[in-house]
Each structure stands twice: as C-alpha cells, then as structure tokens.
Chain A
Amino acid sequence: MSLTLIDKIWDRHVVATTAAGADLVAIDRVFLHERTGAAALKSMAVSGRTLADPARVFAVMDHIVDTRIGRGDQTLMEGGQAFITETRAAAKAAGITLFDVTDPDQGITHVISPELGIVLPGCTLVAPDSHTCTQGALGAMAWGIGASEAEHAMATGVLRLPRPKTMRVRFEGALAPGVTAKDMALALIATHGAGGGAGHAVEFAGSAVTALDIEGRMTLCNMATEFSAMSAIIAPDETTFAYLAGRRYAPADFNDPYWQTLRSDDGAVFDREILIDAAAIAPMVSWGTSPEHAMPIDGVIPHGPQRAHDYIALAAGERIEGTPIDVAFIGSCTNARLSDLRRAAALLKGRHVAPTLRKAMVVPGSSAVKRAAEAEGLDKIFEAAGFEWRMSGCSLCFFAGGESFPPGSRSISSTNRNFEGRQGPGIRTHIASPEVVAASAIAGAIADPRKLAPTPIAAQAQA
C-alpha cells in the first residue's frame, strides 16, 4: 500500500489506539522555552509527576530574554526576569538540558534544534510554541502544543491525538531572482487563507521545494502554523542528511537504508492537494492584520475586512510600494538564519538606511548564527548601514512589554505575524522577506528588492 510520509511517521509512533479512536503517539523530543517552560515543569512538580525521559527534553531562553549586547537575566519586560530564573530552576530540578542565557548554544528554539541535530528525520518533536512546525524542514513530524500537552508528553512519553488529515502542497518550477521561501509561504496563505490548512498536516513538495537549502525549507515550514496546519514536513533528502551529519545530537552518518524510507510513496493519496506555480511568485508583503492579507509587492492593495484597513491605515486600490516605514526588523525563527542575514547584508552593503527611520535592528536567530555572521563581517555591514546588531532571541517578533514604538508606527519585519498589536499597541506590522526589509530600510518606505543590485557576500564555513 502506498503511504504518505506523514502516515509513515505516524504509524511508526503509534503505541496504542484508545477506545474513542485517538492514537497514543510516542514523542521523541520535547523542547521548552522560558515563556511556558516554567509553567509546565512547575505544574508537573506540584502534581508530583516525574519526566518519563529527561534526556530527551531540552529547554532554552529565547522568548523574553534581553537581546541587547551584554545581557544577563534582566529583561525589559516587567516581571520578565522571573520567567528566566524560574525556568532555570525548574529545568535543573527536572534534570533536563538547558541552553541558558549565556550558553554558546543559546538561540531561538527552532534555530538551535536543527543546528544541534536535536531534531532528526522521522522523529516526533513537540514544543509549546506554534512555530515548532519549522523543524519539519528536517523531515521530522514537529508541531506546536500548549503547556498542558507539554506536561503530558514529558510525564507519559506520548500524546493522545486524532490522526491528522494529510495535504500535499507542491511548488513546481523555479523561483525568480529575489523571490524566496518566505514569499512561497505568503503566496500560499494569501491564496488559500490563514485557515486553509485546518485539520491537516502538510507535506511541502515539488521542484521549488527540493531546490531550497535547509534554511529556506525551515522558513517555508515555519509559516505552516499561519496556514492553520497542524504541522508541516519536507521529505529528507541528501541535502538534509548532509546538513545534519556530525551535529552534536545527530547520528554521525545517515547511510542506513532506513533513512531512505522517509518519503511519500509514489501513488500515495493525500486528503487534499494544492499545486502552485513557483515561477509566478513575486516578492510578497503583508498589507493587513493577518498573514493571509499578503500581496505581491508591486501590486495594488486588495479589498479586505474594513477593520484591517482601518488598523493598518491603508486603503484598497492603493499601491503598497512606497508606503513610508518607521521601523525595520530582521529576526525571528522565520528569517534570522545565516543565509537570511547574508542576503539582507548583500543589499545593505555600501548603502545606508533612510534617515527617517526610527529604528533598524537585526537579531540573529542563535548565538552560533551571530558568531558565524561576525566571522564573515556581516555585523559590520549591518552597522555601517545603520542597523543595530543584537544578541539572539525572539525580540521584536512580538511585544512583551519591553521595547516598542509609539502607536501608529509602521514596521517592516522579517517575522511571521502581523496581528493587531503584535509588535506593540497600535503598531502596524508588515511581514516580508529579509530582502524586502533591507530594501525598505534603505528607501524608508516599502520597497521592491529586485530594483537593487546586491553586493555578493562570500559564503564562509557555516557554524
């Protein structure tokens, strides 16, 4: 029988099926962060429960940790320090591996888990963070959960779940120059809606997907939660195995024939299929307050909910290009990996952000990304262009009560969410690729990166 990759991984992990038809699915890895990790671990301790296997549970400080150079446990968020100190204490008591504030391996969960080889093809991995689906780019079944489910997974080693329906989204053809995985994701969500993936686990496939490097694949899978998908996955291939081989928690080699079985069989039937012409995708930018409010950067703003037009202060029928911006942010689990920073730096080299900008900031996705970027001089390019260079963390992807801007400020951001108030009360957020953020920072207004010639940045050894 022909099976999808999702079904193969699911079947491999079913321990039992309940009378009501849910599966007890074995969970190979749990990853916590300080925003919700302390709550889950403390709640377990209070109820007298222990971890089924602490060696397979990891935690990191990423959500509210300060990103200013020289940081410690202090955060700008009121009361934020308690999340850090309590998570540290709870992680120590539970005996799990913690990548602490000053750890050289610290970084955003979905950046460091692949870097360290914690996520592996064919494994199940959960974290109380909706962007856990990012890690499906490595061929894992990875998805976001709540704190109670994290507790459940840690205490029992399994989760009780209905089997998701399967969807395949195929991007066929070659991306045009200046178009990236972020644009693929936004094009999908703009066309099929922020709820378009509801009830489904999605496999991304097609020639434009296999042509992506691992970092691009992570960006694409990252946005699956904005599509309301339960999870996203890309079949592992030689690119995947080459990326993971030799990383700290990964097997040294992937020559065992097992790894080749991790793909959808020819003839596998999905509950739903979507086909997208990758060559027709343009650089995208969001105009409204949902990721589905996204459009080609050279297009005209469509009609959306009036509330979204009112909040973002842009009317249907206007061009989005040329809209003045106040803030430019490159960061987050979506687009703050080394390749993202290189591509942005290639546009910024020899140029400067517009004097009208209130702030331009770049926050590397991990401490390792930061070191690698500095080794090839990207920090100097960003700083010369007028960007602030920071320590790694989630930072301005959302507003935790720390840094923000006056209501009405307009931000161009390489992040994943443009919700009302996401980056602070009244802030208007436009999500886009790092290229679009860089070009817009230079122009002081939303700008098309295809109109700027990049200065090639020599790729050096990766972290």
Chain B
Amino acid sequence: MTPFTTLSGIAAPLLADNIDTDAIIPSREIKNTGRTGLAEGMFAPWRYTQGREPNPDFVLNQPAYAGAKILAGGSNFGCGSSREHAVWALAEYGIRCVIAPSFAPIFAANCIRNGLLPLVLPRDGVEAVAGHMVAIDLAAQTLTCEGVTHSFPIEEEARDMLLEGLDVIDLTLKSRSAIAAWTRADRAERPWIYL
C-alpha cells in the first residue's frame, strides 16, 4: 500500500450530507469480481448525463477541479452499503483524501485499508477549505489552507497504518501466537463457537 505522508492540492467541493456509496459507485458499475476497473463508474449518476456524456455541472468535470486528489464532502460521508468498491473507485481515480465533518464507519475503515485519508474537520472548517488549495501533513495531523492551520483527529493505529503503508494482515500475523493461545483457552470455555 502507498504510504500517506503529506498531500497538497485543491479540495473539490461536494458538500451534500449523507453522500452514499451507491452514489460513489452504483452497484451496476461493479462489473467484475476484482478491485479494478471502477474509476470510470465513480459518481456515475452525477458525473454523466443519461447518454453518459460528462455532466458539466459535476464538480470533477469542471476545469478547476479536474484531476483533484482531495474531496470536501458533507457529514456522514460514505454511508450506505459496505462495498469497498467505493474506496477502490476513488483511489483508482486518484483521490487520496476526503475531508468531511463525519464519515460512515465502514467507509472510514475501508479508506484506511486502502491508503486514503478520511480527514475530519468541523463543518465550518470543511466549508472554509472547500474549493481551495490545501496542504495536509498526516504526521502533524494538520491541514493548512489560506494561511490557517486546522488540526484534525485520527485514531493512532489508523494514522500509523497510513503513514507506513503497512500490510495490516502481515502486521496482525505477527501476533499469531497470542491469537492461537487465546483461541485454545476460548475453545475450552465456549466450545459451541468451534464448529
């Protein structure tokens, strides 16, 4: 996984609340069982006209935001289906960070697993940076925009995973013996769990 350390760019404004994963990648745009080929379907309902021409009203189709790596969204961003394809689509398109007042929990976890930073700012902070150039420093947990520096929270574990681009499964497998010991003890106490 590509480590996430610092990132600078324009924050494309997409400020509606409750942007769901059906909007980010509709079910019908998931055409194979892999993790690729999804960028084209990203935001398809908003990004294209009925004839699948680029919709000039959609933010990423506007010259100022073409190729943006950062999105500024509303609260509860990524709600709805747990489909990780939403994050795979964003990442394949080139989005590395979404700034929002809050995220749906599964979407936020999916972001961390794919090197994409879910950056939480208060609503007025998101509104202040939307449409502007921002500079993000994950280690310092800061976002700077127009000379103003905002701090943002992130779980330490998630921050470390992003910073180091760790393969989290390998990391967990280092605890293999602790997991095996726990399982042996648990098997004696809750035999019905073990089929």
Instruction: Give A residues with C-beta under 8 Å from B.
Output: 15-16, 18, 20-22, 24, 26, 28, 35-36, 38-39, 42-43, 47, 49, 52-53, 55-56, 77-79, 82-83, 86-87, 120, 122-123, 128-130, 132, 143-149, 151-152, 155-158, 160, 162, 193-195, 198-199, 225-226, 228-230, 249-251, 258, 290, 292, 305, 307, 398-401, 407, 417, 419-422, 425
Contacts and interface: CB of A to CB of B under 8 A. Distances in A.
Contacts of B75: 195
**Interchain residue pairs A-B with the least CB separation, the first 10:** A401-B28, A195-B76, A146-B84, A22-B157, A20-B156, A20-B157, A146-B110, A148-B113, A130-B82, A144-B82
Contacts of B9: none
Given A157-B183, A400-B27, A419-B23, 15 more contacts: A15-B175, A21-B157, A24-B179, A42-B34, A49-B169, A52-B179, A86-B33, A160-B157, A195-B75, A199-B105, A399-B26, A401-B28, A419-B22, A420-B23, A421-B22
Most chain-B Cβ atoms within 10 A of its Cβ — which of A18, A56, A156? A156
A412 B90 CA distance: 32
A43 B195 CA distance: 25
B81 interface: yes
A336 to B, nearest CB: 18
B92 to A, nearest CB: 14
B143 interface: no
A130 B107 CA distance: 10
Contacts of B26: 399, 421
B109 A398 contact: no
A86 B17 CA distance: 36
B178 A24 contact: yes
B33 A38 contact: yes
A53 B195 CA distance: 9
28 contacts: A18-B157, A20-B157, A26-B179, A26-B182, A35-B30, A36-B83, A39-B35, A53-B194, A55-B195, A56-B195, A122-B190, A130-B106, A144-B106, A145-B109, A146-B84, A148-B114, A156-B173, A160-B171, A195-B18, A195-B76, A199-B105, A226-B79, A399-B27, A399-B28, A400-B27, A401-B27, A417-B20, A419-B22
B16 interface: yes
Nearest to B180: A157
A398 B27 contact: yes
Interface string B178-191: 11001100100010
Nearest to A394: B27
A79 B41 CA distance: 15
B184 to A, nearest CB: 12
A157 B194 contact: no
- Name the residue in B106, B159, B160, B194 with the highest tally of chain A Cβ atoms < 10 Å from its Cβ: B106
Nearest to B1: A148
Interface in B154-178: 155-157, 159-160, 168-169, 171-173, 175-176, 178
A422 B22 contact: yes
Contact residue range for chain B? 35 or more
Contact of A158 (B34, B102, B114, B179): B179
Given A152-B172, A398-B27, A419 B194 contact: no
Interface of B: 16-18, 20, 22-23, 26-28, 30-35, 45, 50, 75-76, 79-84, 87, 102-106, 109-110, 113-114, 155-157, 159-160, 168-169, 171-173, 175-176, 178-179, 182-183, 186, 190, 192-195
Given A24-B179, A401-B27, A198 B105 contact: yes
Contacts of B109: 145-146, 149
B76 A82 contact: no
A155 B110 CA distance: 17
Nearest to A401: B28
Contacts of B160: 20
Nearest to A425: B45
B31 A79 contact: yes
Contacts of A419: 20, 22-23, 80
A21 B156 contact: yes
B85 to A, nearest CB: 8
A195 to B, nearest CB: 4
B155 to A, nearest CB: 5
A120 B193 contact: yes
A162 B109 CA distance: 11
B178 A15 contact: yes
Nearest to A97: B195
Contacts of B156: 20-22
Contacts of B186: 26
A194 B16 CA distance: 13
A124 B33 CA distance: 27
Contacts of B30: 35
A18 B158 CA distance: 12
Nearest to A39: B33
Contact of A146 (B45, B106, B176): B106
A47 B103 CA distance: 30
A15 B82 contact: no
A162 B157 contact: yes
Contact of A398 (B16, B22, B50, B155): B22
Contact of A130 (B35, B80, B183): B80
Nearest to A402: B28
Contact of B79 (A16, A194, A307): A194
Contacts of A199: 105
A290 B75 CA distance: 12
A228 B45 CA distance: 23
B28 A148 contact: no
A428 B84 CA distance: 25
A156 B110 contact: no
Contacts of B193: 28, 56, 120, 123
B192 A24 contact: no
Contacts of B76: 193-195, 198, 228
B190 to A, nearest CB: 8
A156 B157 contact: no
